Amino acid sequence: MLTNIDIQKILPHRYPFLLVDKVVEMEEGKSITGIKNVTINEPFFQGHFPGNPIMPGVLITEALAQVGAVLLLSMPENKGKLGVFTGINNFKFRRQVVPGDTLTLHAELLLYRHGMGKANVRATVGDEVAAMGEISFAVIDNKANE
């Protein structure tokens, strides 16, 4: 298991854009499961939507990408690098995510070579699928480390 402090050693994201609270399972180079605890204190709920707070789908997608990035950037050859989107494919949003939900983030690596890859991702709340699809990514040098 990785704590939020461990995750911050892997990902460059910080509040309010760090969207993974912990990693509960990881099979190196294969799959990962993380958690995002959704609270009313999230800054995006101020405007999305007043009186009916719903986590934006784009941020659910970003949370899935971040958990996938933890998987990739935990690999010794990718230490200190960045994971960036190159595509988002066949995404479906099935359930609204609201304050009080625990969003479970799953990513399974389908392909990874020469710094490029694809992963199947799925966000769930309990047994219900909130979002699912495929993301494509590249692992690049982090200019902040130069």
Q: Which residues are catalytic?
A: 48
Beta strand spans in 8-52 (E):
22-27, 31-37
Instruction: Say if residue 6 is exposed, middle or buried (CB neighbours under 10 Å; 0-12, 13-18, 19+).
Output: middle
Which residues lie closer than 8 Å to 40 by C-beta, 6 or more apart?
Answer: 53, 99, 100
Could you give the CA distance from residue 18 to residue 113 in angstroms, rounded to a whole number? Answer: 26
